[in-house]
Structure 1
Amino acid sequence: MREPRVFGETRRRTRRNDEPREHRVSLRLGDDEMAAVQAGATLARLTPAGYAARTVVAVAMGTLTPIPPTTRDELRELLEARTALTRIGNNLNQLARTRNAGGDITDEQLLAVLARVEAAVRRMDEATVVNMRRRRRRD
């Protein structure tokens, strides 16, 4: 007996009025590859075959561009640096509010926040330079 599918609200097949799909492609995947396809299909609320077909056609037609792992790592680094800068900005606002209200803010506290700002800006600069170099090579 087959196990029930894990999808919540699986999409119904879309009826194609333009032309029937007569061609088949058979894929052989390793365990890790199949797990990735199944995970993507679950997120897209499609069957693995439907997800694979939609993704392959989108890449082939140029409507979806795969992101290499190194680029994903760079984007992740930029997002992490941006998040860090946002948090640091919040810390600076809290310190300024406290100091303006007559609170005791030590020089050590200010220097610690400024050191974090410098480190986050440095990370952001490094990631941006790497990203720019990669884009120049592609152009």
Structure 2
Amino acid sequence: MGEPRKKRFYVSFSDTELAVVRTAAEREGMASAAWAGRQVRAVAQHTLVPVSLDAADVLRELVQARVHLRETVTALRALAAAGPPGAGVPESAATAVARALDAVVRVDEATVAVMRERRPRS
């Protein structure tokens, strides 16, 4: 669309890499070369910042920590509902709070790691 494209840019892929590109292109209803060209332009324009394979581990950690936080919040709500008012905080509630705080720290650390990874490479 727009001006005609007369310039060519050759890229080599392994069989596995090409399969990934083709799958992504098919998912978006595009030709592989058009999809790859769009991705290259997005990276060049800093609208898409590539991340390392380690980012997948960090994102998994974020997901696990979020699940843990949800479970901990559920446990805290159950404890709060079960105890009579003014009875003090039972040991299990204190443990749940400690677990929640640990999970918050893990989510914060993972988030900072992802933020560092996602900075533009210029």
* In 1, Cα distance between equivalents of 2:115 and 2:36: 32
Ranked by relative contact order (alpha carbons within 8 Å, sequence separation 6 or more), the top structure is 2
Matched, 1:127 2:110: yes
Structure 2 portions without partners, runs of 5+: none
Partner secondary structure for residue 90 of structure 1: helix
Q: Which amino acid aligns with 1:96?
A: A
1:111, distance to aligned residue in structure 2 (A) = 5.0
Q: Is the CA contact 2:52–2:117 (under 8 Å) kept in the aligned structure 1?
A: no
Matched, 1:33 2:22: no
In the other structure, the counterpart of 2:33 is: 49
1:121, distance to aligned residue in structure 2 (A) = 2.9
* In 2, Cα distance between equivalents of 1:100 and 1:35: 60
Could you state the TM-score of these two structures normalised by the residue count of structure 1?
A: 0.61
* In 2, Cα distance between equivalents of 1:122 and 1:48: 41
In the other structure, the counterpart of 2:68 is: 84
Q: Residue deviations 1:37-58, cap 9 Å, x none?
A: 1232233232222211111122
In the other structure, the counterpart of 1:104 is: none
* In 2, Cα distance between equivalents of 1:54 and 1:121: 37
The answer to which of 116-125 and 43-52 deviates more is 116-125
Could you state the TM-score of these two structures normalised by the residue count of structure 2?
A: 0.67
Of residues 57, 68, 74, the one that matches 2:58 is 74
Structure 1 portions without partners, runs of 5+: 1-15, 102-106
